[in-house]
Amino acid sequence: MTKATATAHTNIALIKYWGKKNVELNLPTTSSLSLTLDKFYTTTTVSPADYGEDQFILNQNQTDGQRVHRFLDFLRSELGDFDPVKVDSLNAVPTSAGLASSASAFAALTGAVAKYLDKDLPLEELSRLARRGSGSATRSFFPGFALWQAGDSDATSYAYALDTPQIPIALIVAEVSGLHKKVSSSDGMQRAMTSPDYPNWVKESGQQIEAMQKALQASDLEQVGALAEANALAMHALNLSARDRRFTYYTQQTLDIIKFVQDLRHKGFLAYVTLDAGPNVKIITSQDQAVDISSQLQEAFPSVKLATALPGPGIAYE
């Protein structure tokens, strides 16, 4: 094939992955559960390189992209050697700001390379491969809700789609900052694992992922939000209690938005927060309340960029 194009959407983990039991294989300490989003995505085209080495172009700018180059070499070891390629990615996700841009990026890259090589691989196998580029990319192959099972080996750690009823969930993204985060996700995880509370977080996360699956089957959106908020806030508390270089992704505006959302809930709105590795706050709500909540947020925080996302599709090819 002369070229192949894949589009993958980013996802938000409702039950988080935060810590690795095997860094080399990118095996997580816990399973995680996510929602794929329609609003944010990466489209990647793979074609023959213009010269004798891999090229990486992000949003029309050629970049070094060492992480991408290493991942291409990993794919060569898994799928068979292939000539240098040009990777041309358009990323509709703010990069390195806690919106899981690497999830859609590495899912799209994995899918595009497999298609380029005429490899007809099942989604679970693509998910396993993408894990070596970005853990959260495992979940971006699937529409709606997906579960990444932690596994105990390279072969057993991958994601799969969850068969759930349609739920009228919406996610409001409050972009506090689009700046590159000072503590990478990988470094943050390593630090968080030194928290004395980490073993308890792992245990509680296992209980929450079971409860979340039951809430999804019951279409209990309020319970979905409550579990997601509890899991995310406990994850961020690990960063603050780390024995090794404690830190936080929060800004003052992050804290102000969290309090605002909690106040909305006390007024009767269905509104819960979740946060990934960055300062941006995501508000879980219902589709019929999203417009009202977004309007109130914009009035209270006029400088914050807001976007509302709905459940998104799985990977697609051109």
pLDDT of 239-275, one tens digit each?
A: 999 998 999 999 999 999 999 999 999 999 999 999 9
- Residues in the chain, total: 318
Q: What are phi and psi of 128, to 5 degrees?
A: -60, -45
For 158-182, what is the mean pLDDT?
91
Residue 62 has pLDDT above 90, yes or no: no
Q: For the segment 209-221, what is each residue's pLDDT rounded down to a tens digit? A: 999 999 999 999 9
pLDDT band at 182 (very low <50, low <70, confident <90, very high): confident
**Model confidence at 97, in pLDDT bands (50, 70, 90)?**
very low
The Cα angle at residue 156 between residues 152 and 159, in degrees rounded to 5: 115
Residue 215, classed as helix, strand or coil, is: helix
Tokens read off for 22: 């095997």
pLDDT at 99: 63
Residue showing tokens 């799209």: 108
C-alpha dihedral (55, 84, 46, 309), degrees to nearest 10: -50
Q: With both helix axes pointing from N to C terminus, report the angle between 252-266 and 290-300 in degrees, rounded to the nearest 10.
A: 130
Task: Compute the mean pLDDT over every residue in the chain, rounded to the nearest whole number.
Answer: 95
Per-residue pLDDT for 189 more than 70? Answer: yes
- Stretch among 5-19, 98-112, 125-139 having the lowest mean pLDDT: 98-112
Q: Is the pLDDT of residue 104 over 50?
A: yes
Q: Hey, where are the domains in the chain?
A: 4-165, 169-309
Mean pLDDT within 35-59:
95
Lookup: tokens for 304: 């914050």
Rounded CA separation 206/115 (Å) = 35
Q: What local confidence, expressed as pLDDT, does residue 181 receive? A: 78
Q: Span 89-113, mean pLDDT?
A: 83
Q: Decide yes or no: CATH 3.20.20.80 for domain 169-309.
A: no
Quick one: tokens of 194? 């030194």
Residue-wise pLDDT for 144-167, tens only, equals 999 999 999 999 999 999 999 999
Residue 259: its pLDDT value, please? 98
The pLDDT of 106-125, averaged and rounded, is 98
- Residue whose C-alpha is closest to residue 131's, from 66, 198, 74, 203: 74
**pLDDT reported for residue 149:** 98
- 278-315 residue pLDDT tens: 899 999 999 999 999 999 999 999 999 999 999 999 99
Predicted confidence (pLDDT) at residue 95 exceeds the cutoff of 60: no
Report the CATH fold assignment for 4-165: Ribosomal Protein S5; domain 2 (3.30.230)
Residue 96 has pLDDT above 70, yes or no: no
Q: What is the 3-state secondary structure (H, E, C) of 58-69?
A: ECCEECCCHHHH
